[in-house]
């Protein structure tokens, strides 16, 4: 929903018209009254309550801070991705591939949107997560290769897969678990949502082992 400058001015005036002076000298303003005035003035405009509410708040903030409801001027940072600019970005990322887009923006003087466009659409680079694996020492590599060859050569032995067990375990959080890496809340303004978690949450572990002929488990155990 996009508001025209004339509508912005009317919203601000409707906001102040809805004001009532409290006994302690402060003022209260009615969002509902503001919406009703706007609907009466612009009956053909469909109003989304949350969009209108957030837009009204932004207009009031602009007016209180700048005595104007117009948007701020552009930062003036360059947005043209010339060959020299792209090469500079590529060299910086090659020197430090873990650099964040905000840090790249600060170093190059480009907006974060322009840096993001250069990385994805021009340089075809994508962010990848780091995987944590078990640390191996120098002697471990040859031993693992030797074991793989030994195991592969004896696959035809009848008892090998019968005696080879593969095991795994999993933990279940009894009080729930929130993965902050992929949990997101979409809103026009930051709702500042917090989730309280125990310092030592209760968890139930499940362990199971499996061979070609047998399954051991599942075995449950609790961690307090």
**Tens-digit pLDDT profile for residues 26-67:** 888 899 999 999 999 988 888 888 888 888 888 888 888 877
**Predicted pLDDT of residue 72:** 58
CA-CA distance, 22 to 176, in Å (whole number)?
45
Instruction: Spell out the residues 6+ positions from residue 201 whose beta carbon is closer than 8 angstroms to its own.
Output: 173, 174, 175, 177
What's the pLDDT band for 186 if we cut at 50, 70, 90?
low
* Predicted local distance difference test score (pLDDT) of residue 208: 95
pLDDT score of 78 more than 70: no
pLDDT digits (tens, 9 = 90+) for 194-211: 766 677 778 889 999 998
How far apart CA 209 and CA 134 sit, in angstroms, is: 21
The average pLDDT across 107-134 equals 84
1 falls in which pLDDT band (50, 70, 90)? low
pLDDT at residue 76, rounded to an integer: 54
**What is the model's pLDDT at position 67?**
74
- Specify the pLDDT at position 146: 93
Helix (H, G, I), strand (E, B) or coil at 51: helix
Q: Considering the chain, what percentage of its residues have pLDDT values greater than 70?
A: 86
Q: Look over the chain and give the mean of its residue pLDDT values, rounded to a whole number.
A: 82
Beta strands in the chain (DSSP E): 20-21, 27-28, 166-173, 203-210, 215-223
Task: Give CA–CA dist 150/120, Å, rounded.
Answer: 45
């Amino acid at each position: 929903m996009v508001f025209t400058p004339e509508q912005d001015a009317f919203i601000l005036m409707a906001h102040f018209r809805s004001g009532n002076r409290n006994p302690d000298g402060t003022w209260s303003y009615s969002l509902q009254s503001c919406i009703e005035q706007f609907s009466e003035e612009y009956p053909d405009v469909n109003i989304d309550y949350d969009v209108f509410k957030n837009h009204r708040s932004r207009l009031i903030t602009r007016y209180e801070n700048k005595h104007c409801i117009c948007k701020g001027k552009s930062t003036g940072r360059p947005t043209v991705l010339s060959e020299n600019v792209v090469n500079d970005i590529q060299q910086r990322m090659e020197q430090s591939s873990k650099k964040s887009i905000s840090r790249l923006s600060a170093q190059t003087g480009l907006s974060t949107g322009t840096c993001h466009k250069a990385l994805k659409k021009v340089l075809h680079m994508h962010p990848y997560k780091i995987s944590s694996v078990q640390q191996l020492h120098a002697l471990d590599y040859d031993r693992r290769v030797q074991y793989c060859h030994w195991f592969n050569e004896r696959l035809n032995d009848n008892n090998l897969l019968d005696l080879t067990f593969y095991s795994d375990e999993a933990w279940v959080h009894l009080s729930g678990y929130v993965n902050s890496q992929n949990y997101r809340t979409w809103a026009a303004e930051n709702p500042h949502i917090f989730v309280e978690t125990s310092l030592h949450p209760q968890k139930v572990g499940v362990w199971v082992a499996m061979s070609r002929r047998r399954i051991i488990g599942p075995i449950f155990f609790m961690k307090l």
